[in-house]
Amino acid sequence: MGHMVEFAPRPWDRPAPERAGRLSIYGMLPEDFTAMGAPGRAEHIFAMIQRPWEYRDGFPRLSREIREWLVANLDTALPEVAERHASEDGSTKLMLRLGDGECIEAVHMPREVRNPRVTLCVSSQVGCAMGCAFCATGTLGIRRNLSAGEIVGQVLAALRELGPERPHAITLVFMGMGEPLHNLEQVHRAIQILNHTRGLNISTRRITVSTSGLVPGIERLAHMEPRPWLAVSLNATTDEARSALMPVNRAWGLARLREALDAWSLGDRERLTIEYVLVAGQNDTMEDAERLAEWMGELRRGHNVNLIRLNEHEAASFREPDEAQVNAFVARLKALNCFVTVRKSRGRDIQGACGQLVKKSKGPSKRIENC
Ligand code: SF4
């Protein structure tokens, strides 16, 4: 097992501003209500807040005393849906405005039109510090972390806007704006809330946290409970190429990243996902496929290489490879015993696809080149 590296406080650890000095009601676990001295049964209050489809109009089944206590002590506002962009493929990008006016984006992807099963791609930060060269969000720099209440509020706001009503039909992926492991405390707290049996009760098998390869974060998350599934965005097969595309690699190179994955003890039927964005002329050669298979090593057994064709956007000059190149790459990996899927990108026409999430915000942001 790799050694643990503690996080020192970083500029992006700035907490979310609390509206009127109050914590968000959506970031509370039952024990928090108890600790705050809420009147009545804490689990009951938690269920009322987290299962809104059962209580459409606020908190009607709570006693007046509890309602007044909640409103007086906590921020009850959900992120506001500021814009809604529907794609031809059935997915919808939502722009959500937070209490301090900052905006984040979430993408709602039904499996097929009118199917209640849905994948929600959620954000963990406003902007991102990681500066990946192919990613639109990376051009924003970091503005701040989301609080657990804002992350859970994002999920509830998206479900309220677009459904489905029932929680068993939701898959959550932390692949929106931000590096979730740069905001691990709040992301994990949000997962605790979303996984809670009295709340949305989303299984950890249906929650995936996707990281650019922040090794200390992987090592911390490995020991946390509940633990979501992990996806790592790899995108290159030599340290030189990966450092050029993803500055995180300058701090934690390919060998160190692989060590952290080896130390991730897998649960029953758990799989790791290695994401690989194919960029024409950068990482899509047959030699890349061979190096990728070699780097995977034992992980080739049962784990998944998820190939994604680059989603082009204005902020970068990179291009997506053509169909023939993608097919050749897939064939080479399969010949080397890798389990490969090619992700069908959703929401390309609304700039909602992977690496395209960007919302121009006012004011300065901080770009951190070396993580
Ligand atoms: S790919 Fe992910 S980690 Fe990299 S800049 Fe974009 S949002 Fe951040």
Same structural domain, 271 and 318: yes
Residue 252 lies in a domain: yes
- Nearest of 184, 191, 180 to residue 137 by alpha carbon: 180
Q: Which amino acids are annotated catalytic?
A: 105, 354
Closest atom of ligand 1 relative to the 135 alpha carbon: 6
Alpha-carbon gap, residue 106 to 95, rounded angstroms: 7
Of residues 239 and 62, more confidence is placed in 239
Same structural domain, 196 and 290: yes
Distance 114 CA to ligand 1 centre (A): 31
End position of a domain, from candidates 58, 73, 88: 73
Distance 350 CA to ligand 1 centre (A): 18
Distance 20 CA to ligand 1 centre (A): 31
The mean predicted confidence, pLDDT, of the chain is 85
Is there a cis peptide before residue 226, judged by omega within 30 degrees of 0?
A: yes
Residue 232 lies in a domain: yes
* CA 187 to each of CA 238, 326, 344, 358: distance values in angstroms, whole numbers, following the listed order: 30, 34, 26, 20
Same structural domain, 254 and 172: yes
End position of a domain, from candidates 73, 90, 112: 73
Instruction: Give per-residue pLDDT as tens, 246-277.
Output: 999 999 999 999 999 999 999 889 999 999 99
Q: Given pLDDT bands bounded at 50, 70 and 90, which one contains residue 167?
A: low
CB-based contact 32:43 (threshold 8 Å) = no
Q: What is the pLDDT of residue 348?
A: 64
Closest atom of ligand 1 relative to the 178 alpha carbon: 7
Same structural domain, 66 and 95: no
Q: What is the pLDDT of residue 169?
A: 83
Closest atom of ligand 1 relative to the 136 alpha carbon: 6
Nearest CA, atom 4, ligand 1: 132
The residues, ordered by sequence, that sit 6+ positions from 271 with a Cβ below 8 Å of its Cβ are 229, 302, 303, 304
- Residue-wise burial string across 236-258, b where 16 or more C-beta atoms lie within 10 A, e elsewhere: bbbeebbbebbbbbeebbbeebb
Number of domains in the chain: 2
> What would the mean pLDDT of 71-93 be, rounded to a whole number?
90
Residue 62 lies in a domain: yes
Range of the domain at 201: 80-350
Percentage helix, strand, coil for the chain under 3-state DSSP, each rounded to 5: 35, 20, 45
Share of the chain above pLDDT 70, in %: 83
Same structural domain, 231 and 335: yes
* φ, ψ at 295 (rounded to 5°): -65, -40
Instruction: Give per-residue pLDDT as tens, 103-130.
Output: 999 999 988 656 678 999 999 999 999 9
Q: What is the pLDDT of residue 360?
A: 44
Q: What is the pLDDT of residue 136?
A: 84
Closest atom of ligand 1 relative to the 177 alpha carbon: 7
Same structural domain, 94 and 68: no
Q: Given pLDDT bands bounded at 50, 70 and 90, which one contains residue 352?
A: low
Ligand 1 binding pocket mutation candidate from 124, 183, 212 (most atoms within 8 A of CB): 212
Same structural domain, 67 and 95: no
CB-based contact 229:191 (threshold 8 Å) = no
Residue 11 lies in a domain: no
Same structural domain, 132 and 232: yes
Same structural domain, 68 and 130: no
Same structural domain, 138 and 36: no
Closest atom of ligand 1 relative to the 176 alpha carbon: 7
Distance 81 CA to ligand 1 centre (A): 23
Q: What is the pLDDT of residue 29?
A: 95
Distance 52 CA to ligand 1 centre (A): 32
Pocket-forming residues, ligand 1, beta carbon under 6 Å: 128, 130-132, 135, 137-138, 177-179, 212, 355
Ligand 1 binding pocket mutation candidate from 135, 145, 234, 248 (most atoms within 8 A of CB): 135
Distance 297 CA to ligand 1 centre (A): 25
The residues, ordered by sequence, that sit 6+ positions from 221 with a Cβ below 8 Å of its Cβ are 181, 184, 188, 209, 227, 228, 230
Same structural domain, 340 and 212: yes
Ligand 1 binding pocket mutation candidate from 12, 179, 283 (most atoms within 8 A of CB): 179
Distance 65 CA to ligand 1 centre (A): 45
Nearest CA, atom 5, ligand 1: 138
Closest atom of ligand 1 relative to the 128 alpha carbon: 8
Q: What is the pLDDT of residue 111?
A: 81
Q: What is the pLDDT of residue 8?
A: 43
